[in-house]
Structure 1
Amino acid sequence: MVEANFHSSDAEAILRIPLSRRYVHDMVFWLHTKDGDYSVKLGYHIARLLAKQDADLGESSREVMGSSIWAKLWKLKAKESRYHVLWECGLAQDIWAGSSRRLQKGVPGLDDMVQLVEYMQNRLTDEELEYFWVQCWFIWNQCNAIVHGGAIQEPGRLNQRAKDFLDEFRAAQLRLSVSAVFSDTSSSGFGAVIRNNLGEVMAAMSAKGPSVVDSEEAEVLACRRVLEFAVDTEFEELMIEGDNSTVIRCLSSIRAFRSRLGNVYADIHVLAAGSRCKSFSCVKREANLAAHSLARYARSIDGDMFWMEETPPPAIEAVYLDSVSLNE
């Protein structure tokens, strides 16, 4: 059907779109953005580009109708109360003043919570970012308590509560590390290791995957496969780690991605919710060697391999090196 109705190159691209494991409705996504969402701003620029092409680039200096209006629209800014509550108000400033030095330093003029989060993601380590979110949660709860007649807690106490909460959370964590490898050949490789808070291997997997287009597709398919493995082995409340920042950032988002990989991301969110996964975080490749070793190993085997409560032989040295890196 596809090959009969589309040009061969288009048909090949369509048939390479990964399918969902669930029943999902067909959807339309915007080709010119990575997440598949239509952007008015980008649509405007694409329209200008097409207009220039139609004019054979002969009138590039002519102002496009309405461009001054669009320029004003881009400059409009809406106030967002969450930013004020979590960062600008006096209570929030007193609490952040008692936190880590990297959170105490001045932040350049920002307009809303989205810009603040993006700034923090680019500036903080994963551990500091976790503390930032926990502290935001405590600040928000404190503000709600005040609105409903509760007492104001001393900022130092809230800082200590955030630290204690995060320490308890990390101590109880099972870490699921995932990695993928691919090349121009007809297959990819997936690897995963589940470890407890002591670094002991609880389960591991090495599985061969399909041919993929790029590293993002390889990694997101690997995430889905290893989460299915975690569900089958009845592991819950996992902290999922990977070394592909693009995939981890998309998985950490609550947005629905209307792209060629959108259904796979949705599958992962469903699996993560069902197994009560706690977080997605990006780690350096040096701290993800075991999963990466198993991903490479997968390309040399015919079927999937699994290990339960034992260190997988293909990754013995890598498991040790991961433990050293995580404890530094």
Structure 2
Amino acid sequence: MWKIGDGTQVNICSENWVPGRGPLIYSQDLFVKLNLSKVSMLINHDGHCWRRDLIELVFNPGTTTNILSIPLSMHGGCDVFHWPGTSDGQYTTKEGYSFLRKLLARDEASSSTMLTLAPKFWKKFWASRALPRCKETCWRALSGYLSLKERLFRCRVDVDPSCSFCAAELEEEDHLFLHCPAVKQVWFASQLAVRVDLFSSFIEFWLAAVELDDDDAVATIQSTIYALWEAQNSICFQQREFVVAGVLQRVRSSMEEAIVRDHDRGPMTALPARWKKPAPGTIKCNFDASFHDRGPSGLGMVARNSDGEVMVAACSLPITTLSPLLAEAMSMRWTMQLAINLGFRRIYLEMDHAIQEGRSYLSSIIHDCRLLLSAFDYVSVSIVRRTSNTVADFMARNAETYANLVWVEEVHVAAFHLVISDVMTQLPVRA
């Protein structure tokens, strides 16, 4: 799709340039009356920003939000094509293959089942205490990525597409993991004692399992799927027989291994990493962004001198952005502009996210940041842990409350304890 620079090459109606899956909905009468044609007519080139009033007048709210979420470069630039599926906008054969695989999986699954696998489902799915290999195998089964014989046969691989366990039906997910007579025995004999006849599909079975809100049940199901897949591989490659007791024993051993792993690993603790004072004569600017999908993304920053004293703190609430990386890049550009306006000439920039370039909108923001470098005598950019960026993170997360406010030589009272904490960690410890 098009990445908008100055908009002179892109036709509003006939080109693919607006992010989001929805159609481009606009008032046809107003469109004709205003004689709109190119995207450049929607841009205020003096301020390098969208003509918000015009866009809200012509387009419906959904399309308006999608258009305003496109970040414009401060310096215009040319319209270029980019691949929207990656953060850098670069197309690779791997990305194209992944895109086609997703289309194929979406076509094979019914629209209802695809919609039911919501983020809440996957959160519970990955939070279980099953072994990683069990969760991965189950995810591949749900996503249609397992090399089942029926799928291989459709790809013109010379294999018998019948089930490895019963040889009576085609080997696909619903049959192999649910409806095969041999597999039904496994589910009924397991500690869950499940009667799988009640479920029409593998995905329906999983949705019911997650709704139980039982972590042990989810882990047991994931371990059972892995044991069944392991049994299928043993039959295909080692000519072994299918034994229900053997599959159940493999499930128990996987669950026991998971318990031992969690016990041996112990509680996870973060590495000690705190904010550090900059060198004398320089200002350290920490910045961050809070990203909300299709909602307002807040920006926050704090600048401190070599004594840890706050020179300035600020919040900003821009329009919606397309991704967390774009929000981070916009935060860096905004922080550099603010530093220039305040007369800072030797600065350290610290963030807790890596940003890469490419052909995406991200590269336009980074290009702006590169052009702003000439206004400084010295600039250093570092990526730090979130524990070293707590004040900026607080400002960004609360940008909606303190929108577009600037505190000179102070910080909001709610963030004062974070500033004190950063300074206190710099003090020498007496013996």
Please state which band the TM-score falls in when normalised by the shorter chain: 0.5 to 0.7
1:243-279 CA-partner distances (Å, limit 9, x unpaired):
2x233xx3xxxxx521132211211222234324522
State the match for 2:354 in structure 1: 246
State the match for 2:384 in structure 1: 283
State the match for 1:42 in structure 2: 94
Structure 2's unaligned 5+ residue stretches are 1-10, 25-62, 106-150, 159-271
Quote how far apart the aligned CAs of 1:49 are: 6.8
Quote how far apart the aligned CAs of 1:199 are: 0.9
Within a 5 Å distance, the mapping from 1:29-108 to structure 2 comes to: 29-39=82-92, 42=94, 58-59=154-155, 61=157
1:291-317 CA-partner distances (Å, limit 9, x unpaired):
122223321135x21122234434211
Alpha-carbon distance in 2 for matches of 1:238, 1:266? 19
Contact 2:288 2:300 in 1 (8 A): yes
Quote how far apart the aligned CAs of 1:171 are: 4.2
Quote how far apart the aligned CAs of 1:196 are: 1.2
Structure 1's unaligned 5+ residue stretches are 63-124, 128-168, 251-255
State the match for 1:9 in structure 2: 22
Note closer, same or farther for the CA distance 1:211–1:14 as it changes in structure 2 (3 Å cut): closer
The amino acid across from 1:298 in the alignment is A
Matched, 1:317 2:423: no
Within a 5 Å distance, the mapping from 1:1-328 to structure 2 comes to: 2-3=12-13, 5-6=15-16, 9=22, 11=24, 12=63, 16-39=69-92, 42=94, 58-59=154-155, 61=157, 170-184=279-293, 186-243=295-352, 245-247=353-355, 250=356, 256-302=357-403, 304-325=404-425
Alpha-carbon distance in 1 for matches of 2:310, 2:97? 51
Give the structure-2-normalised TM-score.
Answer: 0.42
The amino acid across from 1:246 in the alignment is A
Alpha-carbon distance in 2 for matches of 1:44, 1:206? 39
Quote how far apart the aligned CAs of 1:190 are: 1.2
Quote how far apart the aligned CAs of 1:176 are: 0.4
The amino acid across from 1:34 in the alignment is S
Note closer, same or farther for the CA distance 1:286–1:30 as it changes in structure 2 (3 Å cut): same
The amino acid across from 1:313 in the alignment is V
Q: SS of the counterpart of 1:320?
A: helix
Q: Decide which structure has the larger Cα Rg and report it.
A: 2
The amino acid across from 1:274 in the alignment is A
Higher relative contact order (CA 8 A, sep 6+): 1
Alpha-carbon distance in 1 for matches of 2:390, 2:280? 22
Alpha-carbon distance in 1 for matches of 2:400, 2:99? 45
Contact 1:126 1:281 in 2 (8 A): no
Quote how far apart the aligned CAs of 1:230 are: 0.8
The amino acid across from 2:72 in the alignment is L
Give the structure-1-normalised TM-score.
Answer: 0.54
Alpha-carbon distance in 1 for matches of 2:299, 2:280? 27
1:185-230 CA-partner distances (Å, limit 9, x unpaired):
7422211111112211112212212222332222221111121111
Q: SS of the counterpart of 2:313?
A: strand
Q: What RMSD over aligned residues (CA atoms) do the two structures have, in Å?
A: 3.9
Quote how far apart the aligned CAs of 1:241 are: 0.5
Alpha-carbon distance in 2 for matches of 1:275, 1:192? 18
Alpha-carbon distance in 2 for matches of 1:3, 1:314? 48
Alpha-carbon distance in 2 for matches of 1:321, 1:126? 12
The amino acid across from 1:237 in the alignment is R
1:145-176 CA-partner distances (Å, limit 9, x unpaired):
xxxxxxxxxxxxxxxxxxxxxxxx84443210
Alpha-carbon distance in 2 for matches of 1:48, 1:208? 37
Higher mean alpha-carbon deviation, 270-279 vs 223-232, is at 270-279
Note closer, same or farther for the CA distance 1:187–1:32 as it changes in structure 2 (3 Å cut): closer
Percent identical among aligned pairs is: 25
Contact 2:294 2:321 in 1 (8 A): no
Alpha-carbon distance in 2 for matches of 1:230, 1:217? 20
